[in-house]
Amino acid sequence: MIDERTVREMVRRVVLRTVQATADAATTGDSRLVTQQDIESLTAGSAVHVDEEAIVTPLARQTALERGVTVVRGPSAESVAAESGSTDGERTVAVAADHGGFEMKQALAGHLRERGYSVIDCGTHGTESVDYPDLALAAARLVAQGKATAAIIVDGAGIGSCMAANKVPGIRAAMCYDEATAVNSREHNAANVLTLGAGLIGGALARRIVDTWLDTPHGGGRHARRVDKIMDIERRYLKG
């Protein structure tokens, strides 16, 4: 059993390391230092992308928690797209995941590259807890902007990311759990975003769903008329 004196010493060392790192970053003008003032300058409920090695001060973390600001380690989707040279979206797929879908997202990104697709990885870039709406927005926005032809988003169940992505104008996101739903979402609904639940399906099935989804064209005809009606609902509310 660890005694109280040992615990206090451990806490003291952690605090000293944090304070020293913060002081060093401030002295050198390191832009990777995220302070309370940086978080306060952001819109409440927004997300900020910081360097993988960024130092987030304890006050900044507390302020982010209080203001609902999500700190995501890794580059923003826009900067990744710019670096990759993806401007027309041709054969480009955006991928994103929360912490629950991180491992599946990594595997699918590799699979897509093997198939000859360019991949824009919107994050997350590790297993640290993040909020799925932020990642879903990052990927869906690239599709809406024409920087990616499609997006694949993974979270625990695939449902929340689907809801979030569908709030982006121009997006038709579908949560698929087998090859039949993958075909239907493309042929009938012209889905341009696919969401998957890492807690519901395994890696082999996920790859089959992705392949089927990407390889299935929109059916046109009566399906096109119905998709137009779906998008017309969106246009009506945007006008209001």
Could you list the active site residues?
A: 188
> What is the residue-wise DSSP string for 199-230?
TTS-HHHHHHHHHHHHHPPP--THHHHHHHHH
Label residue 217 exposed, middle or buried (CB < 10 Å: 0-12, 13-18, 19+).
exposed
CA atoms within 13 A on the CB side of 192: 24
Strand ranges, E, within the chain:
33-34, 47-50, 55-56, 70-73, 92-97, 118-121, 150-155, 173-175, 193-197
Amino acid at 31: S
